[in-house]
Amino acid sequence: MIVELHLLQNFVPSNLNRDDTGAPKNCEFGGVPRARISSQCLKRTIRDAFDGDQRLPSARRARRTKRVREELVRQLATRHGLDEAEADAIVRAALPGGLDLKVASNGLTEYLVFLGDREIAALADLCLEYREALRPGAQGRVKGLDQKAKRAFAAALAQGDPVLYQVYAVDRPDAVGELSSGLTILHPGRVGDEYYMTKGHFHAVLETGEVYYCLGGHGMMVMETPEGDWRVAKMTPGIVVYVPPRWAHRSVNVSKDEDLVFFWVYPAHAGHNYGAIERQGFRKLIVARDGAPAVIDNPRWLPPEMR
């Protein structure tokens, strides 16, 4: 059932609300020309009432503005100490790239957005956290890395199409209460600087975990949540790695010449979700640096808010 309320209120002769040409808004209702106001006019009155009566703390009150760029630059400069020119370049990259909010030549956004101080501060913190990916030329560096990766991949294929890892599974029904288990043998090797790894996945039933027991070799387990939290655990013989619910996981063999062998077990109904990892990979990469494995940022990775 839909209930519509039509309210008429008398005002003294006045120009309550103008249209985009500056003329008073009006309409014909009940066969009589009447003055008209927009919903935004009412909303502004309500917001002004909250401001005037201090019914909410200022940090929790929002405002309509096209000056998001200006506010973010100010936050980055005053709260985080960035040079204003650098802050402006980062914000101009973040707004259209991460928020789909275009910035005109005059520095204003293409349309009004409704944000409070807390939201502006949170956006500034995100810009600061991912400023390396947002700096001018960062996309060019990513493209350069992509080309380097493609060359390394082509070189690896030119030497044959090696088997990276083998999985031996005990198949069980995909039912609650059942356990799937098996053994994985991940061979040593690298593509460019990046060590051989498993594909990596979330569980399709996100709230399910998994247990790994390392039987041989030397490796690392890379994990992250949908929100972007991450951790890396070592895998050596006798080590048990617990992957909590909601954490994606990938095994990496960092040995030069030894297989990484591990046993795994998880609820049979958990399933696998490879799509999220295929789109942009894990937040952290395991690469060779000065002859040893190192954990580095994935330059292609973006936080959920900016995808």
Q: Please, which residues have CB within 8 angstroms of residue 232's CB and are 6 or more apart in sequence?
A: 220, 221, 222, 223, 284, 286, 295
The residue ranges of DSSP E strands in 103-160, in sequence order, are 113-116
Residue 155 lies in a domain: no
Considering the domain architecture, whether residues 177 and 291 belong to the same structural domain is answered as yes
> pLDDT tens digits, residue range 77-97?
888 888 888 888 888 888 876
User: Does 12 map to a domain?
Assistant: yes
pLDDT per residue over 97-125, tens digit each? 666 778 888 888 888 888 888 888 888 88
235-291 confidence digits (pLDDT tens): 999 999 999 999 999 999 999 999 999 999 999 999 999 988 887 789 999 999 998
Residues 171 and 131 in one domain: no
Same domain, 14 and 129: yes
Look up the CATH number of the domain holding residue 248.
Answer: 2.60.120.10
Confidence label for 142 from pLDDT (cuts 50, 70 and 90):
very low
Long-range interactions of 160-168: CB distance < 8 A, separation 24+:
162/187, 162/189, 163/187, 164/189, 164/196, 164/197, 164/198, 165/196, 165/198
What is the tens place of the pLDDT at every residue in 187-239?
999 988 899 999 999 999 999 999 999 999 999 999 999 988 999 999 999 99
Among 93, 117, 136, the domain-final residue is 136
Closest to 207 (Cα-Cα) out of 275, 249, 267, 263: 267
* 3-43 confidence digits (pLDDT tens): 887 777 666 666 667 777 777 788 888 888 877 777 777 77
Would you say residue 307 lies in a domain? no
Q: Is 215 domain-assigned?
A: yes
Q: Domain check: are 102 and 217 in the same one?
A: no
Judge whether 157 lies within some domain.
Answer: no
264 lies in the same domain as 204: yes
Parent domain of 31: 1-136
Are 120 and 250 within one domain? no
Residue 63 lies in a domain: yes
- Co-location of 115 and 223 in the same domain: no
* Pair 38, 114 in one domain: yes
Instruction: Answer yes or no: is 269 within a domain.
Output: yes
Same domain assignment for residues 173 and 272: yes
Q: Mark whether 110 and 192 lie in a shared domain.
A: no
What does R_g of the chain's alpha carbons equal in angstroms?
28
Q: Do 88 and 178 belong to one domain?
A: no
181 and 293 in one domain? Answer: yes
* pLDDT at site 196: 95
Extract the tokens encoding 68.
């998001």
**Higher per-residue pLDDT: 72 or 1:** 72
Q: How many domains does the chain have?
A: 2
Helical ranges in 159-192 per DSSP H: none
Task: Say which residue the tokens 């839909």 belong to.
Answer: 2
Residue 143 lies in a domain: no
